[in-house]
Amino acid sequence: MIGVGLAAQLIVAAATILLSMAMPSTHRSLAAGLGVAATGLVGVATGWLALTGSHGSISLPTALPLDPLTLAPTPLGGFFMLVIGAVAIVAGVYAIGYVHGPSESRTSWMSLALFVVSMQLVPASADVVSFLLFWELMAVASTVLVLTEHARRPAVRTAALWYASMTQLSFFLLLSGFAILTAEAGSTSFSAFSITAWNSTASNVAFVCLVLGFAAKAGVVPLHVWLPRAHPEAPSHVSALMSAAMVKLGVYGVFLVSTQFLVSGDSWRGLLILALGMVSAVYGILQASVASDLKRLLAYSTTENIGLMFMAIGAATLLKAYGTAGIADVALAACLLLVLAHAAFKTTLFLGAGAILKATGERDLDRLGGLGARMPVTSITFGIAALGAAALPLTAGFVAEWVLLQSLIHGAGSTNRILAIVMPIAVGAVALTAGLALMTFVKAYGIAFLARPRSDGAAHATEGSFTMRVALVAGAALVVGLGLIPGLTGHAATLAGGLAGIHAVGLGGIELSAADAVLDPAWLAVMVSAIALPVIAVTVMVARRRPRRAVDLAWGCGGVRVSPRMQYTATSYAEPLSRIFDDSLRPERDVIVTHSTEARYLVERVQFRQKLSDVFESRLYAPVIGLAQGFGGAARRLQNGKIHFYLAYSFIAFLIVLLVVSL
């Protein structure tokens, strides 16, 4: 059945590509969107079969003197196929109603189908050549999708250039790492990597190359610079696929390398991954908390979430190095639960941001507001997803971060000095990110959906199409559903990672025997209801006794407060935080005061501008780019169009070759 499922994925994806080419524009979105959803559905079925222990493969011979291309998903690969397929189903249904105009081109739909199937076949690959082939197909298809609206907005081309550069850097690092492993193991098969004893310096170099290559695709700091550029400029259903599915393949790669390929007792490997994760988690949510562009905020939030996943893998690697295998399994389970939770709530958030953009034409939170009454379905589903992103109870995000904290807290109880120092720091990092995440999504939801609209687009916004609403409801249901049945998700994580000490208890509860901890969502739901229901009841009673009145003028400190300009904006909400972390964020502020022409002591207008740039981009990448441009400018002088100079270059090169050979 695994082989049938893999073949069906290829067939359905090929049919979707053909439909995208042949269908007229009036029916193209419906046919192609359903085809993408069907591709995802087949991927879910195939992934579930692999996760539950079914075996099967497809082998394709090549003309190269290498092993044949082999697709044979393991339980871990099946887990990621299932997650990617589920995101593709929701995004495909959403795209039916969302895609119009430039996004409706044949090229975009064809690229979307290729993007989905290549993402699903990356974790199904069983050898290096297959893996890199589908990895590159995924990169090329996603680059084309990022460029969808390049004709209308110049920023799209810049974002695509950054994305293409970083994804090719990722490919180069992966190619280097896998080349070393292939030379050492004498085979391109992943099964050969798993049985080879790795104790050489070459294996350490391969480990660093592979981790950095996968980190670049995952958007880990400092290799994250493409993410806040590409996500805002891509169509929203593509942003959802990239953030909720594609970046997870970077997590999959690091999980694979650290737990199956290059398993060793070296603690520095765990420290490297843990450090990358902590920096990414804190820096990502800090940037998200001060961002006013909604999709840029969500992109930086993805960096934070990926950082938490890297922290879980790093903690597990470190714990195993010091003989604490039971708690290490809990950390690995936390990583896989974070993958599930992030896929659910980040898909819903990006699709909700797309519904807002389509209805208002705005991404800037400072120009939104009042959408709760105008877009009720988007408001409710976005709010539920925001609760998941903030890791509040009864959501998948809460379950995943609870398991992560259990592993870090119990890992800190070890008598080993390194664990006793590192694990509390990691707990502090998770606590800081959780607090900032709550603040970030209170800002995102409150500024966008509450109060009065701050622009004409927000004032005249309407709800999205039927398929868009169906996709949003499905995503929000997954956020809550996965939070209410952590036993099932924990069992899936156990099967995927081959873990021990994680059991289902009660009505969907989860027990971590290694950490002596139990989470029962049924009792948690009772507690939440006991707190929330009285508040809701009192609010309803008061509202009925004192009906709402519409008034034209409201007295407030001697002024009439009816203008949206009197409300908090996203920028003003985050102002205290940007001052606290001024040294890290480096904001550029400018206050322009315009005086009256009659008297210089009378102020006619005050303008405040604040620009927040990425510190890593301005301090790390800008000098490197400047150096490369300077080198290119100097090298250009060599190409002066004079033939005798070119002959001299050839002669000098020939002399250098002779000198090297003779020595």
Strands 502-505 and 69-71, bridge-based pairing: unpaired
Query: Six-digit token pair at 457?
Result: 């687009």
- Of 311-315, 547-551, 658-662, the range with the lowest mean pLDDT is 547-551
Percentage of the chain beyond pLDDT 70 is 96
pLDDT at 473 over 70: yes
What is the structure's pLDDT at 100? 74
The three-point CA angle 628-633-636 to 5° equals: 125
What is the structure's pLDDT at 384? 94
pLDDT tens, 574-583? 778 877 877 7
Instruction: Choose among 376, 385, 401, 323: nearest CA to 351.
Output: 385
Q: First vs last Cα of the chain: how many Å apart?
A: 60
Query: What is the average pLDDT across 652-663?
Result: 89
pLDDT grade for 272, boundaries at 50, 70 and 90: very high
What is the structure's pLDDT at 183? 86
Mean pLDDT (the chain) is 86
CA separation for the pair 490, 335 (Å, rounded):
11
Most confident of 256-270, 289-303, 611-625: 289-303
pLDDT at 629 over 60: yes
What is the structure's pLDDT at 242? 93
pLDDT grade for 266, boundaries at 50, 70 and 90: confident
pLDDT at 522 over 80: no
pLDDT at 474 over 60: yes
Query: Six-digit token pair at 184?
Result: 């050492």
Instruction: Choose among 192, 172, 173, 171: nearest CA to 181.
Output: 192
What is the structure's pLDDT at 120? 94
Tokens 């109060």 appear where? 451
What is the structure's pLDDT at 335? 92
pTM for this predicted structure: 0.89
What is the structure's pLDDT at 553? 52
Instruction: Taking the CA atoms of 65, 69, 73 and 76 in sequence, report the sign of the dihedral they define.
Output: positive
pLDDT at 552 over 70: no
CA separation for the pair 456, 368 (Å, rounded):
9
Query: What is the average pLDDT across 618-647?
Result: 81
Query: What is the average pLDDT across 554-563?
Result: 56
Q: Who has greater pLDDT, 583 or 481?
A: 481
CA separation for the pair 645, 661 (Å, rounded):
24
Is the CB of residue 340 less than 8 Å from the CB of residue 85?
no
Most confident of 207-211, 361-365, 543-547: 207-211
pLDDT grade for 494, boundaries at 50, 70 and 90: confident
What is the structure's pLDDT at 142? 92
Give residue limits of the domains in the chain.
265-540, 582-634
Query: What is the average pLDDT across 146-156?
Result: 85
What is the structure's pLDDT at 507? 65
Query: What is the average pLDDT across 629-655?
Result: 82
pLDDT tens, 351-362? 999 999 999 988
What is the structure's pLDDT at 198? 66
- Of 236-240, 407-411, 615-619, the range with the lowest mean pLDDT is 615-619
pLDDT at 425 over 80: yes
Instruction: Choose among 620, 619, 614, 625: nearest CA to 232.
Output: 614
- What single-letter amino acid sits at 218? A
pLDDT grade for 337, boundaries at 50, 70 and 90: very high
